[in-house]
Amino acid sequence: MSTLVQTPSAVAAAPSAKPVATPFGGRIIVGLIGVLLAVLVSGFNENVTRIALADIRGAMGIGHDEGSWLIALYAAPSVCAMAFAPWFSVTFSLRRFTLCAIGAFMLLGLLSPLAPNLHVLMLLRALQGLAGGALPPMLMTVALRFLPANIKVYGLASYALTATFGPSLGTPLAAFWVEYVGWQWAFWQIIPTSLLAMAAVAWGLPQDPLRLERFAQFDWRGLLLGFPAISMLVVGLIQGERLDWFESTLITTLFLGGGLLLVLLFINEWFHPLPFFKLQMLGLRNLSFALFALGVVLFVLLASSMIPTSYLAQVQGYRPLQSAPLMLWVALPQLLALPLVAALCNLRWVDCRWVLAIGMGMLVLSCGIGSHLTSAWIRDDFFVMQMLQVFAQPMAVLPLLMLSTGSIAPPEGPFASAWFNSIKGFAAVLAGGVLDALTTARLHFHSSMLVDRLGNNPLALDGQGAGLAQRLHQQAVVLTSADLYLYVAVIAAALILIIPFVPTRIYPPRAA
């Protein structure tokens, strides 16, 4: 397979403006590691406002509603940046753009805990989300542009690491800093690794020339339509559950306005000579399937991490740091599991579609075990489920990367990168919104059923103290968690059923 990220031939450029041809060697490996470190700390940083939100609110004197906007205002520009960053990296050069993104990301993280008020903190977090969201596409670009064909799959594995290892490790790290050092270090933890990443990128990646002539074909209309469209939809999904979805005028406006702008964006992108999103590429079966399956996989992975931690917090009273080993059981073995899965997928006789099916099957089994959850479960009872996910997660993510890039011609590379990364970012937010809605619906259902049973059996109330309401809530949480595991298992199983029929087989770039 040729490079995924070469400049499209549709863009006229002088010969001197072409990307620098760089032989593979130690410097490229160092550069790749630098970008990987930057993307990983970007992933860690996403969990900061979720894990440390109570401490941030207490330190800055802000309420729950205001605090929820910190999450939304970070996620929206982050998803937008994933969509538009590939174009700017080609124009300003990969090395220069990556260094600027890491530097801005680090500086904004340094300033965030020093914000004098909530509004300044929101602005800093929004700008940091923009810088952090620009980094994941750069990792895919570096891996597929510079790595030789026979090890290109390992480059994809490094990108997959950010979807499996990064989120699982980010939660324990944030919990550790908040518990033992101080809430400010939940923000400042990124600084040492970002400095190391900048040094590695500056030394390891070649410097391409500026390609400012690309602005002659810049898709201004696409940017002006796409940025608010994506932002409105992301904010609507994150705030929807808190504001009761379409019962809220704000949420209704965000969804309708974002949906309309998105339609206008796609119409513009269809006719633009150099769009951010090339809609014609959705006619490629493997790419379309990979984008759809990515949303399903991210939903399953998000549920697999959120359900047990929420259960342990609400039923067993665990603090975030006490739930951290649950995430570490999955995160740390990924460092071994991902290279092994990459080596398997790099064998010519191995069909990555069946690797995907087996990985999804293991996720189904893991969630099926979770559907038997009871109020007696503690952290160690989740061990078998988490161990199944050690190999299930990379086996589900890496084949999707191969399917989405394996049949793409070099000129289509930047468009495929924009599609994959923007769908990855948006699907994660969508999965969170769907999971929140399902959780609330099932929690209300089980709470009502339990109350009705007690009301129909007055003798069961004898001797019950003031803690009855709390015990009812805990039991409703247990039943809801079991239901969610079952739903997730069914969704994952449904994806397995279409794998033999939709995607076509692709081979690794060159047999190992």
pTM, two decimals, is 0.88
> Cα angle vertex 362, ends 358, 364, to 5°?
115
Q: Say if residue 4's pLDDT is above 50.
A: no
Supply the angle between the helices 64-92 and 135-146 in degrees, to the nearest 10. Answer: 30
Of 135-139, 377-381, 466-470, which gets the smallest average pLDDT?
A: 466-470
For 277-457+465-512, CATH number?
A: 1.20.1250.20
Residues in the chain, total? 512
Q: What does the pLDDT read at residue 462?
A: 55
Q: Say if residue 391's pLDDT is above 80.
A: yes
For residue 320, name the pLDDT band (cuts at 50, 70, 90).
confident
Long-range contacts of 279-282 (CB under 8 A, 24+ apart): 281/408, 281/412, 281/415, 281/416, 281/419
Q: Which residue type sits at 254?
A: L
Q: What does the pLDDT read at residue 460?
A: 54
Q: Say if residue 410's pLDDT is above 70.
A: no
Which residues contact residue 277 at a Cβ distance below 8 angstroms, ignoring those fewer than 6 apart?
83, 222, 226, 265, 266, 269, 415, 418, 419, 422
Q: What does the pLDDT read at residue 194?
A: 95
Percent of the chain topping pLDDT 90: 46
Supply the angle between the helices 413-456 and 220-240 in degrees, to the nearest 10. Answer: 20
Calpha distance 389→370 (Å, rounded): 12
Structure tokens at 231: 């932002």
More confident position, 152 or 351: 351
Of 5-9, 36-40, 371-375, which gets the smallest average pLDDT?
A: 5-9
Supply the angle between the helices 249-271 and 220-240 in degrees, to the nearest 10. Answer: 150
Q: What does the pLDDT read at residue 251?
A: 95
More confident position, 148 or 31: 31
Q: What SS3 class is residue 316?
A: coil
Q: What SS3 class is residue 499?
A: coil
Structure tokens at 394: 């990379």
Helical segments of 112-248, H only: 118-133, 135-146, 152-176, 185-188, 190-204, 220-240
More confident position, 314 or 509: 314
More confident position, 322 or 22: 322
For residue 455, name the pLDDT band (cuts at 50, 70, 90).
low
Which residues contact residue 383 at a Cβ distance below 8 angstroms, ignoring those fewer than 6 apart?
329
For residue 158, name the pLDDT band (cuts at 50, 70, 90).
confident
Q: Please give the helix or strand (H or E) that residue 222 lies within, else none.
A: helix 220-240
For residue 458, name the pLDDT band (cuts at 50, 70, 90).
low
Per-residue pLDDT of 39-92, as tens digits, reads: 998 888 877 767 777 778 777 778 778 888 888 999 999 999 998 998 898 889
Please spell the DSSP secondary structure of 352-416, one letter per residue: HHHHHHHHHHHHHHHHHHHTT--TT--GGGGHHHHHHHHHHHHHHHHHHHHHHHHT--GGGHHHH
DSSP-derived secondary structure letter, 211: -
The answer to whether 254 and 236 have CB atoms below 8 angstroms apart is: yes
Supply the angle between the helices 285-314 and 413-456 in degrees, to the nearest 10. Answer: 40
The answer to whether 470 and 271 have CB atoms below 8 angstroms apart is: no
Q: Say if residue 13's pLDDT is above 50.
A: no
Q: What does the pLDDT read at residue 145?
A: 82
In terms of Cβ atoms closer than 10 Å to its own Cβ (0-12, 13-18, 19+), residue 364 is buried
Instruction: Of 125, 117, 116, give the one whose Cα is nearest residue 48.
Output: 125
Interval 389-406 mean pLDDT:
90
Interval 24-40 mean pLDDT:
90
CA 99 to chain centre: 22
More confident position, 143 or 1: 143
Q: Say if residue 373's pLDDT is above 60.
A: yes
Percent of the chain topping pLDDT 70: 91
Per-residue pLDDT of 270-296, as tens digits, reads: 988 888 888 888 888 898 999 999 989
Calpha distance 21→14 (Å, rounded): 15
Q: What does the pLDDT read at residue 459?
A: 54
More confident position, 445 or 60: 445
For residue 512, name the pLDDT band (cuts at 50, 70, 90).
very low
Q: Which residue has the tokens 């770039």?
A: 509
Of 21-25, 130-134, 300-304, which gets the smallest average pLDDT?
A: 21-25
For residue 11, name the pLDDT band (cuts at 50, 70, 90).
very low
Q: What does the pLDDT read at residue 454?
A: 76
Per-residue pLDDT of 462-502, as tens digits, reads: 555 557 778 888 899 999 999 999 999 999 999 999 999 99
- What's the CATH architecture for 24-203? Up-down Bundle (1.20)
Q: Say if residue 409's pLDDT is above 70.
A: no
In terms of Cβ atoms closer than 10 Å to its own Cβ (0-12, 13-18, 19+), residue 436 is middle
Q: Write down the mean pLDDT value for the chain.
A: 86
Structure tokens at 367: 């969630």
Q: Say if residue 8's pLDDT is above 60.
A: no
Q: What does the pLDDT read at residue 126?
A: 94
Q: What does the pLDDT read at residue 248?
A: 92
For residue 238, name the pLDDT band (cuts at 50, 70, 90).
very high
Q: What does the pLDDT read at residue 466?
A: 54
Structure tokens at 331: 């995160």
Q: What does the pLDDT read at residue 10?
A: 39
Q: What does the pLDDT read at residue 185?
A: 85
Q: Phi-psi bin for 148: left (phi > 0), alpha (psi -120 to 50), beta?
A: beta
Q: Say if residue 509's pLDDT is above 80.
A: no
Instruction: Of 14, 22, 221, 194, give the one whose Cα is nearest residue 107.
Output: 194
The answer to whether 80 and 227 have CB atoms below 8 angstroms apart is: yes
